[in-house]
Amino acid sequence: MSPTLDRPLRVLFLCTGNSARSILGEFLLRQLGEGRFESLSAGAAPTGRVHPLALRTLAETYGIDAAEARSKSMTDVAELEPDVVITVCDHARDTCPLWPGGALRVHWGLPDPAAVEGSEEERREAFERTAVVLHDRLVALCSEAGADRDAGVFARAAEKLA
């Protein structure tokens, strides 16, 4: 069992480009966690920009202003020592390093909505589908983990939702 923390549980969402899936996860958990979590995101090979449809989906569907979002690398957040790392793509899972402090790792593989080609509406729907999956998992996770600030409890609950 992990020790219970006297601060919010630090959760890092990790994907390849840190432009879509991990950004969606970061900002959805910020909203849903109601201060119980410090939510971060990063990429194994960041694109350097947040996809505009990620920002639009957060704003229009969830009422979340993510204007402050930026695409970051794993090294940009490594010193923050996350308690739990949730990889949201297979590449990030395979390249995820051992984090200082021994962060627990969970994998939630999701298709990359930024890779979808097609009309604006088709691309928008891809972002919406990804956001809905993340939102639903995070709602369940916040309920399952409750107010517990134990990284092990959180990680086990997250694994059940993969």
pLDDT tens-place values along the chain, 162 residues long: 455 567 888 999 999 899 999 999 999 999 999 888 999 999 989 999 999 999 999 999 999 999 999 999 988 987 888 888 899 987 665 666 555 567 788 899 999 999 999 999 999 999 999 999 999 999 998 888 766 677 788 788 887 887
Tell me the C-alpha distance between 126 and 130, whole Å.
6
Q: Which two three-digit tokens encode residue 8?
A: 């919010």
Sequence-distant (6+) residues with CB within 8 A of 125 are none
The count of other CB atoms within 10 Å of the CB of residue 94 is 10
E-strand stretches of the chain: 9-15, 37-43, 84-87, 104-107
Q: What is the pLDDT of residue 138?
A: 95
Q: What is the pLDDT of residue 100?
A: 59
Q: CA 141, 142, 147: angle at the middle one, nearest 5?
A: 130
| Paired residues of 106 in beta bridges | 86
Interstrand relation of 37-43 and 84-87 (parallel, antiparallel or unpaired): unpaired
Tell me the C-alpha distance between 136 and 132, whole Å.
6
Report the catalytic residues: 15, 89, 96
Q: What is the pLDDT of residue 134?
A: 98
CATH number attached to the domain at 9-160: 3.40.50.2300
Q: What is the pLDDT of residue 62?
A: 98
